[in-house]
Amino acid sequence: ELARQLLSGGAERIYLFGHGENSIYQINHQLRLLQEEGVGEKATIVPVIGDMKDGPYMRYILSQLRADVIFHTAAYKHVPLMEQNPVAVVENNVFGTANLLEASLESNVKRFVLISTDKAVDPVSVYGASKMLCEQLTLSYARKARDCGSDSAYMFVRFGNVLGSRGSILPLFTDQIRKGGPVTVTDPAMVRYFMTIPEACSLVLKTGGVGINGESYLLDMGDPVRIYDVAEQLIRFMG
């Protein structure tokens, strides 16, 4: 969705960077179809396969691409799964982000926007703690950019659950309902903030446009919703 909005917004060149060849292929294919329909038909789309845990490769790639803006959306983010795999989440989320930040500074990237989470505030999970460290790393590179006289801007934006995104509870509920139940809710009193994918991406792009170096931004998610109520409404909606 972020790439689609960038394409329709007039981006000259879009790099799709990820380590999953299938997801990068699918995104690239979807964007090509949009171009055939006349959306951003003059834009250049470049799929790039790589792993941000590989520091030297990240520095090489960014030195070649010369990207102006980076939206850093990559993270292991399934909370229960990450509790069982703390080494992997720290290696990917924290060290991977450090590599990307260092490569960005070396290549003089003009704007770096880290996509963070409300779970980074007083974190109670491995995932939340990893994203809190990513935020601190981003702020440290904002200071480095300022100290070396660069006009680059490093910032992060926090928001809650995005409906239908990877790691969202909705696909799980939908699968459970299709199988005839049961629909599992860990705690009936648990509340979460929700917004749609297009809303989140639009606000992320605005942050990238108006954000100031070293600043943190929090999207207005509206009122929190009980997970139990979401499950109940989804069951009714699906008949």
pLDDT of residue 47: 97
Element (H, E) at 226: strand 225-226
- The sign of the dihedral angle between the CA atoms of 198, 203, 206, 211 is negative
pLDDT of residue 166: 67
pLDDT of residue 219: 76
What b/e readout covers 70-102, taking b as 16+ CB neighbours within 10 angstroms? bbbbbbbbebeebeeeeeebbebbbbbbbbbbb
The reply to whether the predicted model has a pTM over 0.75 is yes
pLDDT of residue 209: 84
- Which residues lie closer than 8 Å to 193 by C-beta, 6 or more apart? 118, 159, 160, 161, 221, 222, 223, 224, 225
Element (H, E) at 33: helix 21-36
Catalytic residues: 119
pLDDT along the chain (239 residues), means of 10: 93 95 96 96 96 97 95 91 96 98 96 93 94 97 94 90 71 90 89 80 85 82 84 89
pLDDT of residue 118: 86
Contact criterion met (CB below 8 Å) for 162 and 196: yes
pLDDT digits (tens, 9 = 90+) for 109-144: 999 999 999 899 999 999 999 999 999 999 999 999
- Which residues lie closer than 8 Å to 104 by C-beta, 6 or more apart? 62, 70, 112, 141, 152, 154
